Structure 1
Amino acid sequence: MKCGLFHTPYNQPQRTPKQIFDWSIELAQICDKAGFSDFLVGEHYTLALENIPMPEAIIASAAMVTEKLRFAPMAHLLPYHDPATLAIRIGWLSQVLEGRYYLGVGPGGHHTDAILHGFENLSQLPARQIEALTIMEKVWQEEPFRFAGDFYRAGFPGPDDMPGYDVTIAKNGLWKESPFEIAVTALSANSNSMKFAGERNYSPISFFGGVDQMISHWETWSTAMREAGFTPERERLRVCREVFVADNDAEAKRRAISGGLGYSWEHYLLPIYKKFKLLDGIIKDSGVDISADEVDMDFLAEHVWLCGSSETVTQKIEALVDKVGPWGMLCINSHDNIDDMAPANESLQRFAQEVMPKVGASVPA
């Protein structure tokens, strides 16, 4: 099992863009040195606690000061972009990074981002995403075409389109991997995103919401893969979790609750999870008879977050694998520790160097 970092980011709302940018680059360097495989960067436009509207700026800058990390925007929200322009930018950056880049795509899941771009509700977005992908795939083929759809118009110039003299067309298609990887995230059980990913042979990224939900993500994706004629492989599945590792369980819990992880959940994530009823699977897994309104930081640290010594975190991951089956990468969700980065950086290092080697040695492929 490999390890990655999902840098949404969950930052405190008072942070400036410069602070978030500098933190992101330092975090990428910490992950690269620790042995992480992937560094995924979110894209949001109006969310003060997830404030990176331009993931490619982070990716390009971080790639220049790291050696091994693979990067991905996770995800470019396709309905908010001109698809032909975005396709060229993606192809260009994939070539700059020479194999250290893959792509995440999504329709957009936040109402305020939709309002910014002129949409009144999220239901308008999935169809635009499909058409955007159609155009992007055509652009990446670098062959002449014209396209006029329901939402977009685009094309690619050919020999018959010269303006009275020959124009050399830039080769800004995708870096020649076979195939170029595209990934999709999902949170809800029986996710349409997982079905969409399987139908297109895209890789699945599962935000954890309990054992049943995680099993549902795998079954939905793998079924769609088989029905589309592809072979599902468990090593392609990435799972996102909250992780904090320290010398012992008590210290890990204290650091997690008092640091950025605790702040994010208390002030941002827990109210969202309660509103959209995303805690049911988590509570069921815990075996504790409480309601969603009773969930607090202590419950999360004990039953939801992978929090503890390296031995405890290893045991928690192995127990989950026993219930849901193996997967290929565990991605840690980043949380704002800008004011005191040392404990969180230590946790990342210990996770990669103490936990992952043990999990990899004991979990079947």
Structure 2
Amino acid sequence: MKTGFFHTPYILPKRTARQVFDWSMELAMLTDEAGYADFMIGEHYTLAWENIPCPEIIIGAAARLTKRIRFAPMAHLLPYHNPATLATQVGWLSQVLEGRYFLGVAPGGHHTDAILHGHDNIGELQAKMFEALELMERVWQRQPFKERTAHFQAGYPGPADFPGYEIDYADNSPWGGRDKLEIAVTGLTKNSSSLKWAGERNYSPISFFGGTEVMKSHWDTWAAAAASKGHAADRSRFRVTRDIFIADSDAEARRLAMNSGLADSWREYLGPIYKKFNLFQGIIEDSGTDIDPSQVDMEFLAEHVWLCGSPETVRRKLELMAEKTGGWGEIIVNSHDNIDNPKPYFESLQRLAKEVTPKLHVL
């Protein structure tokens, strides 16, 4: 069982860019030392609660401060990038990290980011993502072509395009070749179309937890799509995200979580979003409480949304989740703003990797 870290980041809007950058470096070094496998960084442009518009800057800086952990933008929002430029930058950065890199891709789910980039809404973004990645794949092949799609244009030069004399074309393809570059896609809603697309292309699935039925649908959707194209559906590639807080006892973990950035994020930002878009329904069904989503409060979150407890309690909760949904290969803990009181949070992150995941049996 691997441990991963998802640095969205959920961050208090009052933080400066430099504070977010420095906090990111601290988290990268701590998770690397604790034995985490992956460090994933969100890309958002207009959201004060999730403000890292250029995850590649974090990745490049953290690469020099860490030894083993892999990094990924999770995800580059492909509709907002020039595909040829991004393909070149992704390939080059993967070479800089010499394999400690993988790529996350997404269409973008926030309408304010869409407006920033000249779109009226997010309706056309998924089609643009599909087009963009197809062009990126062609750029990585390093074979001459020129193409215009409905939304983009890209190409790759060949010998016929020499400017009157021979030149050496830079090889900015992924480290070790395209086959060595893992591409991952996240799923949030039941029967995610993004995970169907990922399965068909043999990209790895990441499930944002929204209840056991949603999680099962994420695996089923991806696995069926992968099998339809002749790809192996290996559960060790399946990643699952959760909010986790660990301390010596269940009561202490709950108390610390309630006074942490985890609680701030859910009280002020995530809770209202989940209520507005009815994302609590699967978790409510799991809880057996039959409450209305508007009734979800901090006590419900601590009991049913977060995994709070001693290392043994958190391990048992994860294994119970696996019994209900099937296994997975990596548990990913979400990032929250604990800049003002990092010690309990850092200890929780360390204990997850050192005391919980090594003892998990979920495959």
TM class by smaller structure: over 0.9
Q: Distance in 2 between matches of 1:256 and 1:63?
A: 30
For residues 147-226 of structure 1, what are the structure 2 equivalents within 5 Å? 147-176=147-176, 178-226=179-227
Q: Percent identity?
A: 60
- Describe the SS at the equivalent of 1:331: strand
Letter in structure 2 aligned against 1:119: H
Q: Which moved more, 1:230-239 or 1:170-179?
A: 170-179
- Describe the SS at the equivalent of 2:109: coil
Q: 1:54 is matched with which residue?
A: 54
Q: 1:353 is matched with which residue?
A: 354
Q: Distance in 2 between matches of 1:120 and 1:225?
A: 33
Q: 1:22 is matched with which residue?
A: 22
Q: 1:125 is matched with which residue?
A: 125
- Describe the SS at the equivalent of 1:127: helix
Gaps of 5+ in 1: none
For residues 282-297 of structure 1, what are the structure 2 equivalents within 5 Å? 282-297=283-298
2:79 equivalent to 1:85: no
Q: Distance in 1 between matches of 2:237 and 2:116?
A: 34
Q: Deviations over 1:248-306 (max 9, x none)?
A: 11111111111100000000000000000011110111112321111111111112211
Q: 1:271 is matched with which residue?
A: 272
Letter in structure 2 aligned against 1:20: V
Give 1:122 shift: 0.6
- Describe the SS at the equivalent of 1:244: strand
Letter in structure 2 aligned against 1:185: T
The size of the alignment, in residue pairs, is 362
Q: 2:317 is matched with which residue?
A: 316
Q: Distance in 2 between matches of 1:255 and 1:80?
A: 39
Stretches (4+) displaced over 4 A: none
Q: Distance in 2 between matches of 1:357 and 1:231?
A: 26
Q: 2:259 is matched with which residue?
A: 258
Gaps of 5+ in 2: none
Q: Distance in 2 between matches of 1:348 and 1:130?
A: 35
Letter in structure 2 aligned against 1:136: M
Q: Distance in 2 between matches of 1:356 and 1:241?
A: 13
Q: Distance in 2 between matches of 1:271 and 1:345?
A: 27
- Describe the SS at the equivalent of 2:335: strand
Return the TM-score normalized by structure 1: 0.98
Q: Distance in 1 between matches of 2:292 and 2:3?
A: 32
Give 1:328 shift: 0.4
Give 1:179 shift: 3.8
- Describe the SS at the equivalent of 2:7: strand
Give 1:158 shift: 1.1
Give 1:128 shift: 1.1
Q: Deviations over 1:301-322 (max 9, x none)?
A: 1122111111110110011011
Letter in structure 2 aligned against 1:253: R
Is the contact made by 2:174 and 2:180 (CA closer than 8 Å) also made in structure 1?
no
- Describe the SS at the equivalent of 1:335: coil
Q: Distance in 1 between matches of 2:8 and 2:71?
A: 13
Letter in structure 2 aligned against 1:315: R
Q: Which moved more, 1:162-171 or 1:326-335?
A: 162-171
